[in-house]
């Protein structure tokens, strides 16, 4: 299953300085001699198909590969190479190579790290891929198609288009796009399927507090066209000394734009969504007006993570996780950084694409994060953005967006 996440650098989450001492006091260091502290690594261990105790070592390797990839990418001429992606199973960075004569030049420039590089023969340069990506997007607009995703996926060294092939308009679009060089890979939008519930939790414990706690992953509700519309709290952020919850813009359907945590009770009112990003970002901001509501820099869906920083996604093949109020915590792989998605209502979303991540309705705007893993601690997270999920009405398929901070 593919999920889409919008990448946005203009928002900062000022959590790291708040939690420095707290995270040290509550350190949960994973080790073979203390396996209970490794349990929070289970969603990532499941993705990587390893034991919980192996995750800290692999997180260190992933961080090293990301650092090497950040040094490598600027050296790769887009006329000679076709992008990179991290292969965690092999512990290597795969480099799509069209001009093999340039390999030694790159190895010499990356002498200290060349053992981590795997140069793979490829047909398409990044220049070709960018050109075909732009051509495909222009053609999609000309044919006025909707509910599609276009992405550059380095693992395939090609453009990948996801759409409904049964639509007559789309068939004509496909016939034209297949004449491009390279010819994009055409795939069906994923079908609706029953999702497994992973690490889901009860909200009853938090309801007993005098102050009602809202964490990343908490259920938030508002009025929708068909009754109650449920989404998931993303992250707490501050602006001009006021508190906001970052959520998805599409969680708001009708006015008044009031949001509650858990249920429609006066003491559960959070406040209004009084600002939204438009254009290429599906993002909204709920202002906290209820003094009984306590926002925390914490992600909690049974498992609890302390947010100690924020991360920028720069490499394909790395892990990314989400906390949703429906399906809990699950992880997937970043498969594309350059992508654009067209909503059912024609809104275009610039996005990062993630594969193999569980999610379902109601998970929209849930916290997206990376495991921090500092010193083997299993309860630390870096904020990445928010997970959005909606139903594409005429196909029954699902997608998601992420907003990165």
Which 8-state DSSP code applies to residue 88?
T
Q: Kindly state the average pLDDT of the residues 304-319.
A: 91
Q: Is the pLDDT of residue 62 over 90?
A: yes
Q: Is the pLDDT of residue 125 over 90?
A: yes
- Tell me the pTM: 0.84
> Which one, of 282, 309, 307, 283, lies nearest residue 295 by Cα?
307
> Which one, of 217, 248, 253, lies nearest residue 233 by Cα?
217
CB 29, CB 377: distance < 8 Å: yes
Q: Is the pLDDT of residue 88 over 80?
A: yes
Q: How far apart are CA 300 and CA 92, in angstroms?
A: 33
- Each residue of 155-204: pLDDT tens digit? 999 999 988 777 778 889 999 999 999 999 999 876 543 333 333 333 33
Domain boundaries along the sequence of the chain: 42-121, 137-188, 212-387
Q: Yes or no: is domain 212-387 CATH 2.40.10.10?
A: yes
Q: How far is CA 303 from CA 69, 135, 228, in A?
A: 31, 44, 26
Name the most confidently modeled range: 25-29, 181-185, 323-327, 382-386: 181-185
Phi and psi angles of residue 376, each rounded to the nearest 5 degrees, phi first? 80, 10
């Amino acid at each position: 299953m593919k999920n889409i996440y919008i990448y946005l650098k203009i928002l900062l989450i000022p959590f790291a300085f708040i939690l420095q001492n707290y995270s040290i006091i509550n350190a949960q260091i994973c080790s073979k001699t203390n396996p209970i502290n490794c349990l929070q690594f289970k969603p990532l261990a499941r993705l990587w198909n390893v034991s919980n105790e192996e995750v800290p070592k692999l997180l260190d390797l992933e961080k090293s590969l990301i650092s090497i990839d950040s040094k490598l990418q600027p050296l790769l001429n887009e006329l000679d190479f076709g992008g990179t992606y991290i292969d965690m199973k092999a512990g290597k960075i795969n480099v799509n190579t069209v001009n093999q004569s340039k390999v030694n030049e790159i190895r010499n420039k990356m002498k200290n790290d060349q053992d981590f590089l795997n140069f793979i023969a490829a047909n398409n340069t990044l220049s070709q891929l960018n050109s075909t990506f732009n051509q495909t997007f222009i053609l999609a607009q000309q044919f006025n198609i909707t509910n599609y995703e276009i992405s550059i996926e380095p693992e395939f060294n090609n453009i990948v288009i996801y759409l409904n092939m049964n639509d007559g308009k789309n068939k004509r679009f496909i016939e034209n796009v297949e004449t491009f060089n390279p010819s994009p890979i055409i795939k069906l939008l994923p079908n609706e399927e029953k999702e497994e519930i992973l690490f889901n939790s009860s909200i009853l414990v938090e309801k007993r507090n005098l102050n009602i706690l809202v964490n990343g992953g908490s259920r938030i509700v508002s009025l929708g066209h068909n009754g109650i519309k449920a989404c998931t709290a993303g992250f707490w952020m501050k602006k001009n000394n006021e508190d906001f919850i970052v959520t998805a813009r599409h969680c708001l359907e009708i006015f008044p734009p009031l949001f509650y945590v858990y249920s429609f009770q006066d003491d559960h009112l959070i406040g209004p969504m009084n600002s939204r990003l438009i254009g290429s970002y599906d993002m909204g901001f709920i202002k906290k007006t209820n003094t009984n509501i306590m926002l925390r820099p914490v992600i909690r869906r049974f498992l609890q993570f302390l947010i100690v920083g924020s991360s920028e996604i720069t490499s394909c093949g790395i892990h990314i996780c989400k906390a949703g109020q429906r399906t809990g915590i699950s992880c997937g792989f970043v498969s594309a950084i350059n992508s654009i998605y067209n909503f059912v209502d024609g809104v275009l979303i610039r996005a990062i694409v993630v594969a193999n991540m569980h999610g379902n309705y109601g998970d929209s705007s849930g916290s997206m994060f990376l495991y921090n893993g500092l010193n083997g601690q299993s309860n630390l997270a870096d904020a990445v953005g928010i997970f959005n999920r909606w139903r594409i009405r005429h196909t029954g398929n699902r997608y998601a967006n992420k907003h990165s901070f």
